[in-house]
Chain A
Amino acid sequence: MNTNLQTPEAMRAALFEILHNFAPEADLNSLPADAPIREYLDIDSLDAFNILVQVHKRFGIEIPESDYGKLVTLNNIISYLTK
């Protein structure tokens, strides 16, 4: 894992940067940490896939397709990254 991205705050900031590229108009600070990101930001399946590809690149982790369902909310993703 990228050593600059170890705290939940740093992870959250990095995730916001990624999400901003896909939903530039959204106010991410108002995104509840336990809200399903796709529904909340109206992300289609192609963008959802690309967001996970970006998470994979940014955090240097492999995400098997069978784990996609575990990565629904901000809290989900952060705990997945810290496990």
Chain B
Amino acid sequence: MFEFKMPSLGADMDKGRLIEWKVKPGDHVKRGQIVAIVETPKAAVDVEIFEDGIVERLLVDPQTEMAVGAPMALLRATNETAVTAIPQVAEHPHLSHRARKLAHQAASETTLRVSDNREAMRAVIAAAMSRSKREIPHYYLGNEVDLKPSLDWLSEENAKRPMEDRIIYAVLLLKAVAKAVASVPEVNGFWLDGRFQASQAVNVGVAISLRQGGLVAPAIHDVDKKDLGLLMRELNDLVLRARSGSLRSSEFSDATITVTNLGEQGVDSVFGVIYPPQVAIVGFGKISARQTVQTTLAGDHRASDGHRGGLFLVKIAQLLQHPENL
């Protein structure tokens, strides 16, 4: 038997509200399956489960607010026999059809309200960024990168592709960052329990500003292993879902390094603030008239030194000179 607990959807979250169960007692669930929708001050999040199992009992009803780590459901492993008979009753036997409908309506209204809740999101960003600047000794490096080979290659590549399948240059930047991590693994992972824990997976957090204000930085998983076409589709999907407020819990919590591309707003360079517990954020400014881009690294000096951070930025630049290999 194991518990499904209120997940931490970011270093800054201490509680969440269950909006809706996506499973019921007796359901077989697979690792990665979305089992619940949880509301945080930032968004309503589709929460995934991290173990296969069978739902034994749901411990809380929708609209319940819980601390991170509080048990929400009991499950048994698929090879475990039921210790107690599961009563085969409806999901919420005490709720009439009308009551369930009302609860559902209330849930959707809550979700809508949340996406408007600028104050709450500001508070979450304030907490995370304050913690970052309080705890993380940042160092900053910058490098001007010739982007012409990448842009020329991309024009040729896009000319061969139907319009819907074209790729934007930001995807090349994400891939170059993810591949460069292999040379300098100490920028990819988490600072936890007083030490750096490198991550095998390269999950790149993408800073996405929301039109209603605020930002989120959900992750694209295994960016180093995916081809550019797939990354473009995943980036598109991620941005769309970030703006409509339907991100998955794993996207919220498991970025191992973040990329911010403020060139969009026309600034030359960006010196990022690291999202704890990550240890690095890479920034890209706007493309200059000479087709160069200012690439910056904010690194956690506990996890890496400027020398290694410098090698990381140089590696990104080298990879962008050979976009055909990305």
A residues whose Cβ falls under 8 Å from a Cβ of B: 23-25, 42, 44-47, 49-50, 52-53, 56, 62-66
Contact = CB atoms under 8 A, between A and B. Distances in A.
A53 B170 contact: no
A44 B169 CA distance: 12
Given A45-B264, A62-B163, A23 B211 contact: yes
A64 to B, nearest CB: 7
Given A24-B211, A65-B158, A66-B159, 11 more contacts: A25-B212, A42-B211, A45-B168, A45-B170, A45-B264, A46-B170, A46-B235, A46-B236, A64-B159, A65-B166, A66-B155
A46 B236 CA distance: 7
Contacts of A66: 155, 159
Q: Which of A45, A46, A62, A65 has the most CB of B within 10 A?
A: A46
7 contacts: A24-B211, A45-B168, A46-B168, A52-B163, A56-B164, A65-B166, A66-B159
Contacts of B163: 52-53, 56, 62-63
B236 A50 contact: yes
B168 A25 contact: no
Contacts of A25: 211-212
Interface residues of B, number: 16
Contacts of A24: 211
A24 B116 CA distance: 13
Contacts, number: 34
A65 B155 contact: yes
A64 B163 CA distance: 8
A56 to B, nearest CB: 5
Contacts of B212: 25
B219 interface: no
B75 interface: no
Nearest to A44: B264
B282 interface: no
A56 B165 CA distance: 13
B180 interface: no
A66 B166 CA distance: 12
Nearest to A26: B211
A49 B168 contact: yes
Nearest to B239: A46
A49 B166 contact: yes
Nearest to B212: A25
A69 B143 CA distance: 28
